[in-house]
Amino acid sequence: MKTIINPNKKDWSELLKRPTQTVENIENTVTEIFNDVQRRGDKAITKYTELFDGVNLNEIQVSPAEIEKASSLVPEELKEAIQTAKANIETFHAAQKTERVSVQTSKGIDCWQEKRPIQKIGLYIPGGTAPLFSTVLMLAVPANIAGCKEIVLCSPPNKEGKIANEILYAAQLCGVTKVFKVGGIQAIAGLTFGTDAIPQVYKIFGPGNQYVTVAKQLATKYGVAIDMPAGPSELLVVADDTANASYVASDLLSQAEHGADSQVILVSTSKLLLDKVQSEIQKQILNLPRMEMTQKAIDNSKLIYVENDDIALELINEYAPEHFIICTKNEDFYVDNIANAGSVFIGNYTPESAGDYASGTNHTLPTNGFSKAYSGVNLDSFTKSITFQKITKEGILNIGNTIELMAEAEGLQAHKNAVTLRLNDLK
């Protein structure tokens, strides 16, 4: 990791750039595949699955028998761990339910807002270098709490044409209605347009590589909503001399092992801590099975020294991390003043891994600085807010002239007439 001492504020923008890989013609590739799937449906899906995943499938939907067999192969101890995580995620997201908001804005005018579930949703679960069965919990559990009727899951198959047993077990545990052995751009295109096999959905959730990210963004051009723009995973830790260097290093490495294009940053008011963490990283990384990939992410990452908490906070808010860990004596300062972060972890005994798996908060979060404007996935992500209003005779008499004057001023005579006709009948 590169160490930077007291970076000049004018250099922050360059310093805090994400190591996003540039892929030539990625948008052209995504558009080409979308057009093909829109024209040829499942035939195109099968073609790209063979091209990108190296397997030719006669049937892309996972059968109940396959799910049952896969579930039986998951060790009981892991099943219990998944069930514990599911229970905590349910508890946290169920608590996010809100009652109907109702108010009388004026005498005779009642307005209210109610939440309704998004009826059809698609979940994209990466297979790749690490099958993220935990993401099934993070997406399917709140979808069920919200009351979504159709929950369609897509995940890329391995060379044997199968999806990881843990993903299938989590899917059936959490009420997923259909599972498909489809990954990458073609999965997002299938969910966007619908095919003979894959249902069309209204909103797509889930992380993925750059191709999946661009595909999700393209899906919005066809009227399908997405959870958020998201790219490679990232973590920023702020720590001082009260932090445990070994713990900090382990947190940085835990996020770095997601992929070579992940990024981790340590911001500290202690040069000694930076040195200790650097040393711990070099020791701990040697024992990681994904050492080579993790090292590439560490090479793209930074140790930053600043003189005080105020400067640190300003820099952190500018970076807007996906995950933000606070290991400082003055933790309340950061908790109270952080403005831009996807999820915050407080204290030496709150590893980011807890949020990834089992504490109950959601791990589907905005990356690439999008936490300046986007929230992580939550219960509201699976619902829409619908407003209602009911106006009595007294109410239209009270507000009618206001509407007439405003409509006339905007030159919209029909709008005015819709009120005038009613007022004349009431006189």
Q: Which CATH superfamily is domain 26-226 in?
A: Nitrogenase molybdenum iron protein domain (3.40.50.1980)
pLDDT in tens, 379-422: 999 999 999 999 999 999 999 999 999 999 999 999 999 999 99
pLDDT in the model for residue 231: 77
pLDDT in the model for residue 326: 98
Consult the annotation and say whether 186 binds a ligand. Answer: yes
How does residue 129 score in pLDDT terms, banded at 50, 70 and 90?
A: low
Consult the annotation and say whether 241 binds a ligand. Answer: no
Consult the annotation and say whether 323 binds a ligand. Answer: yes
pLDDT in tens, 184-196: 999 999 999 999 9
Is 363 in the active site?
A: no
Consult the annotation and say whether 415 binds a ligand. Answer: yes
| Mean of per-residue pLDDT scores for the chain | 95
Half-sphere exposure of 133 (CA within 13 A, CB side): 22
pLDDT in the model for residue 128: 65
Residue 369 contacts by C-beta under 8 Å, 6 or more apart in sequence?
A: 18, 319, 320, 340
Overall residue count recorded for the chain in this entry: 427
pLDDT in the model for residue 313: 98
Checking if the pLDDT of 130 tops 90, the result is no
Consult the annotation and say whether 233 binds a ligand. Answer: yes
- Residues of the chain within CATH 3.40.50.1980 domain(s) are 26-226, 231-375
pLDDT > 90: percent of the chain: 91
Consult the annotation and say whether 93 binds a ligand. Answer: no
Dmax (CA) for the chain in angstroms is 85
Q: Mention the CATH class of domain 392-426.
A: mainly alpha
Cα 252 from Cα 267, distance rounded (Å): 12
Is 234 in the active site?
A: no
Beta bridge partners of 264: 235
Residue 187 contacts by C-beta under 8 Å, 6 or more apart in sequence?
A: 124, 154, 155, 156, 180, 212
pLDDT in the model for residue 261: 83
User: Could you say which of 166, 323, 352, 363 is catalytic?
Assistant: 323
Domain with residues 231-375, CATH architecture: 3-Layer(aba) Sandwich (3.40)
Cα 2 from Cα 250, distance rounded (Å): 17
Backbone angles phi, psi at 160, to 5 degrees: -90, 5
Cα 140 from Cα 176, distance rounded (Å): 7
pLDDT in tens, 221-252: 999 999 998 778 899 999 999 999 999 999 99
pLDDT in the model for residue 209: 83
Consult the annotation and say whether 363 binds a ligand. Answer: no
- Residues of the chain within CATH 1.20.5.1300 domain(s) are 392-426
DSSP string, 120-138: EEEEE---TTS--HHHHHH
Which residue bears the tokens 């997601």?
258
Consult the annotation and say whether 124 binds a ligand. Answer: yes
pLDDT in the model for residue 232: 83
Half-sphere exposure of 260 (CA within 13 A, CB side): 6
Checking if the pLDDT of 21 tops 60, the result is no
H or E stretch covering 264: strand 263-268
pLDDT in tens, 59-86: 999 999 999 999 999 999 999 999 999 9
pLDDT in tens, 285-340: 999 999 998 999 899 899 999 999 999 999 999 999 999 999 999 999 999 999 99
Consult the annotation and say whether 255 binds a ligand. Answer: yes
User: Could you say which of 257, 280, 322, 352 is catalytic?
Assistant: 322
